[in-house]
């Protein structure tokens, strides 16, 4: 079973804290999260209103040069919005190169 499948499974069943722990364990084992991992973990951060973790994931995305497509961008906006950081959500929206109806 892949890391992404495990993380997504935890989140889908409401175990967001476990997903965050697995995300950390993944990195400790030298596995670099990809776009799919980051999108999923941002959902967990939004659900838990864990803005500090969410900001770390957003910084990771920027630092690693992960392409911010519509899906990932929406996940970042959603996380900031649900965590009450509306100014960060708005800034993210303004910086998105591509948007859709969900944005």
Higher-scoring residue by pLDDT: 97, 33: 33
Instruction: Measure the CA–CA gap between 63 and 75, rounded to whole angstroms.
Output: 17
Task: Convert the pLDDT of each residue in 11-55 to its tens digit.
Answer: 999 999 999 999 999 999 999 999 999 999 999 999 999 999 999
- Does residue 79 register a pLDDT over 80? yes
pLDDT given for residue 1 in this prediction: 66
pLDDT given for residue 98 in this prediction: 79
Element (H, E) at 39: helix 35-48
> Nearest-CA neighbor of 21 among 34, 6, 35?
6
Q: What whole-number percentage of the chain has pLDDT above 90?
A: 87
pTM for this predicted structure: 0.91
């Amino acid at each position: 079973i892949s890391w992404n499948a495990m993380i997504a499974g935890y989140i889908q069943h409401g175990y967001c804290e476990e997903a965050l722990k697995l995300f950390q364990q993944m990195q400790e084992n030298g596995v670099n999260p990809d776009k799919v991992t980051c999108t999923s973990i941002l959902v967990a951060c939004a659900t838990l209103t864990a803005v500090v973790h969410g900001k770390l994931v957003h910084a990771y995305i920027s630092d690693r040069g992960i392409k911010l497509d519509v899906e990932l961008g929406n996940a970042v906006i959603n996380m900031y919005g649900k965590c009450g950081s509306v100014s960060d959500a708005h800034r993210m929206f303004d910086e998105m190169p591509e948007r859709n109806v969900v944005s």
